């Protein structure tokens, strides 16, 4: 018998306790032994809950209980769970967590403390999709060339609605909030920060790279309009918020931003709240993993798969993992060095000379334009949409700064990177 303590019995924790009960037959068979929840930890003991496990508000009752084999951290946050997980590992308990924010900041320190004690986190990226096991084990014969993920369901829901129904960002966000797909404060999801946390976890597994969210390029989807979407459609693209990790020489490029993705790519077909992660291995080529990125049951399914693996006597999986960088010497690429194709949208005065002023700025940065469209607007304004050939991020940023100073350019140009 394996005894677990669940610290945090909210959406995911409650589902974990319920599924352990509901699917006891197969879970026991697969784990090779019974898994029992000895105690749960919450803040508020008087909240009604749909589970039948002993509760406490004192995490130490779990952390210091010598009978508990596995601590399941599902409380959310960063510093408090950090303390909890450190203590659990120091007390020799295996740990399972779904907490991507915790891992985005403290994954290497925790892995260091864990040593040979199992420390698993399948649920922390893309909820129910077994992407971490797939990267670590399924693709273990490969050098990973790139990972591209739609790893935030809220942002994907909003972009999909905008694409399919021609609705603007603000009303779709409002609807998503009413449906419970977006938080009251949606910044974390639509600003790309949640996706960045998950990307860092994937990049650690694939590249052993140590970076914090602050170190990487993160842009959100707030500025996307129907003009961008009709451009995308016209040229065979869709717009997705992507987390991208890519090996470039001896460096790894990490970035989260909306991107124009060719409609023919499998990842472009991941719609609504679903998540999808495309991984390119040097030998296997592209594989893609699709499924629900959140929700109590889907996330709990991943949490329990980790519990089962540990119960089966699994050893810690340092391979591809946090313990040390396997891809020796891979460094984070400076964001200025990123190369990409770019799409730009400029609101301009509909006057002669604008086009040539814009082209001049681009030329000065050595950026060549692949496609240019001008759409008439209201009140003597026009919208200029253009796609570039490949150039450096630094050149593009410089161009955007310069474009802004042209008198006929009314607002800071909106830029979306193009992936292909």
Ligand X SMILES: NC(=O)c1ccc[n+]([C@@H]2O[C@H](COP(=O)([O-])OP(=O)(O)OC[C@H]3O[C@@H](n4cnc5c(N)ncnc54)[C@H](OP(=O)(O)O)[C@@H]3O)[C@@H](O)[C@H]2O)c1
Annotated active-site positions, please? 198
98 binds ligand X (CB under 6 A): yes
Q: Site mask, ligand X, residues 336-365, x = CB under 6 A?
A: ------------------------------
The continuous run of DSSP H or E covering 260 comes out as: strand 251-262
16 touches ligand X (CB under 6 A): no
**Cα–Cα nearest to 94, from 173, 29, 165, 2:** 2
| N-to-C CA span, the chain | 50
Residue 123 interacts with ligand X (CB under 6 A): yes or no: yes
Quote the CA–CA distance of 340 and 95 in Å, as a whole number.
Answer: 40
Asked if 76 interacts with ligand X (CB under 6 A), we say yes
| 74 lines the binding site for a copy of itself (CB under 8 A) | no
326 in contact with a copy of itself (CB under 8 A): yes
Fill in the per-residue mask, 327 to 356: x = in contact with a copy of itself (CB under 8 A), - = not in contact: xx----------------------------
Q: Which of 295, 297, 325, 374 binds ligand X (CB under 6 A)?
A: 295
- Taking CB under 6 A as the criterion, the residue among 24, 29, 43, 334 binding ligand X is 43
Q: Is 183 annotated as a binding residue?
A: yes
Sheet strands (E) in 282-412: 285-292, 331-332, 339-349, 369-376, 381-388, 391-392
Which one of 13, 130, 191, 213 is in contact with a copy of itself (CB under 8 A)? 130
Q: Which long-range contacts (CB under 8 A, 24 or more apart) does 38-41 make?
A: 38/3, 38/4, 38/5, 38/62, 38/65, 38/67, 38/68, 39/5, 39/6, 39/65, 39/68, 40/5, 40/6, 40/7, 40/9, 40/13, 41/5, 41/6, 41/7, 41/8, 41/9, 41/75
Q: By CB under 6 A, name the one of 41, 63, 71, 216 that touches ligand X.
A: 41
Beta carbons within 10 angstroms of residue 390's beta carbon: 12
249 touches a copy of itself (CB under 8 A): no
Chain centroid to CA 143: how far?
A: 21
Q: Is the CB of 80 or the CB of 350 nearer to ligand X?
A: 80
Closest contact distance (angstroms) between CB of 78 and ligand X is 9
Return the residue of 3, 33, 49, 133 that touches a copy of itself, per CB under 8 A: 133
Nearer to ligand X, 17 or 403 (CB): 17
Task: Give dist(CA 146, CA 151) in Å, integer.
Answer: 15
CA distances from 81 to 76, 85, 86, 89, 125 (A): 7, 6, 8, 12, 17
Backbone angles phi, psi at 216, to 5 degrees: -115, 165
Pick 35 or 84: Cβ nearer a copy of itself: 35
Residue 377's binding partner, choosing from a copy of itself, ligand X, none, with beta-carbon cut-off 5 to 8 A by kind?
Answer: none
Structure tokens at 302: 């991943």
Distance in angstroms (rounded) separating the CA atoms of residues 256 and 278? 15
Please say which residue, 182 or 385, places its beta carbon nearer to ligand X: 182
- The residues of the shown chain that bind a copy of itself, judged by CB under 8 A, are 15, 19, 22-23, 25-27, 29-32, 122, 128-130, 133-134, 137-143, 266, 269-270, 281-292, 295, 297-298, 300-302, 304-305, 308-309, 312-313, 315, 319-320, 326-328
- The residues of the shown chain that bind ligand X, judged by CB under 6 A, are 8-13, 41-44, 47, 59, 74-76, 80, 98-100, 123, 127, 294-295, 299
Binding-site annotation, residues for L-homoserine = 183
């Amino acid at each position: 018998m394996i005894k677990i303590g669940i610290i945090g019995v909210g959406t995911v924790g409650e589902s974990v306790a319920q599924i352990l009960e509901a699917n006891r037959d197969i879970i026991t068979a697969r784990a090779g032994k019974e898994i029992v929840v000895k105690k749960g930890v919450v803040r508020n003991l008087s909240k009604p809950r749909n589970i039948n496990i002993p509760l406490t508000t004192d995490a130490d009752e779990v952390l210091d209980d010598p009978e508990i084999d596995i601590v399941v951290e599902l409380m959310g946050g960063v510093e408090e769970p950090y303390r909890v997980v450190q203590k659990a590992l120091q007390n020799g308990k295996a740990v399972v967590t779904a907490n991507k924010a915790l891992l985005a900041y403290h994954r290497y320190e925790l892995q260091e403390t864990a040593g040979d004690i199992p420390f698993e986190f399948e649920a922390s990226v893309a909820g129910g999709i077994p992407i971490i096991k797939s990267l670590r084990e399924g693709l273990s014969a490969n050098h990973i060339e790139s990972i591209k993920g739609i790893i935030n369901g809220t942002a994907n829901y909003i972009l999909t609605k905008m694409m399919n129904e021609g609705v603007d960002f603000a009303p779709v966000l409002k609807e998503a909030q009413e449906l419970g797909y977006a938080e009251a404060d949606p910044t974390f999801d639509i600003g790309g920060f949640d996706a960045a946390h998950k990307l860092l976890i994937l990049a650690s597994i694939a590249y052993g790279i140590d970076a914090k969210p602050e170190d990487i390029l993160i842009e959100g989807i707030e500025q996307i309009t129907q003009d961008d979407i009709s451009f995308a459609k016209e040229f065979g693209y869709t717009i997705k918020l992507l987390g991208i990790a890519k090996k470039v020489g001896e460096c790894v490029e990490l970035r989260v931003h909306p991107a124009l993705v060719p409609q023919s790519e499998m990842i472009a077909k991941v719609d609504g709240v679903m998540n999808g992660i495309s991984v390119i291995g040097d030998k296997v080529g592209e594989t893609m993993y699709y499924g629900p990125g959140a929700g109590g049951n889907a996330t709990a399914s991943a949490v329990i798969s980790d519990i089962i693996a540990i119960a089966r006597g699994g050893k810690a999986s340092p391979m591809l993992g946090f313990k040390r960088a396997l891809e020796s010497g891979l460094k984070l690429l400076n964001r200025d060095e990123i190369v990409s194709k770019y799409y730009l949208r400029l609101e301009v005065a509909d006057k002669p000379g604008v086009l040539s002023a814009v082209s001049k700025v681009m030329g000065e940065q050595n950026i060549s334009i692949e496609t240019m469209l001008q759409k008439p607007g209201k009140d003597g304004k026009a919208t200029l949409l253009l796609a570039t050939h490949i150039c450096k991020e630094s050149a593009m940023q410089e161009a955007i700064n310069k474009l802004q100073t042209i008198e006929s350019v009314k607002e800071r140009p909106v830029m979306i990177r193009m992936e292909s």
